[in-house]
Amino acid sequence: MAGEAAVIVSDEAQPTTPTSVALRWLINIVAVAMSLYHMYVAAFGPPEAIVFRGTHLLFALTLVFLLYPLTSFSTTTTSSTASSTSMT
């Protein structure tokens, strides 16, 4: 049972390290803006629940999609290997 748990944890996607300077700046700006928003809410009280949740999700999902891109930037392409194996 412990071996299965180790396999599941090792299969999780790791966050990517942004290679472009502009992307690093964008991620930092979004993260700092999210932090400042939450500090503002802690100091002055939250807005309506629907507004607060929506704003929190806006920041969080933006960071998720920037740090875990939908496409892989690896040098090997899986589509070419998949098509070559399906033809045999």
- Per-residue pLDDT at 53: 96
Per the structure, the complete domain to which residue 45 belongs is given by 17-68
Total domain count for the chain?
1
Q: Is-contact 58 37, C-beta < 8 A?
A: no
Q: Is residue 75 part of a domain?
A: no
- Per-residue pLDDT at 30: 96
pLDDT in tens, 3-62: 565 556 666 677 778 888 999 999 999 999 999 999 999 999 999 999 999 999 999 999
Q: Is residue 73 part of a domain?
A: no
**How sure is the predictor about 80, in pLDDT bands with cuts at 50, 70 and 90?**
very low
3-state secondary structure of 3: helix
What does pTM read for this prediction?
Answer: 0.64
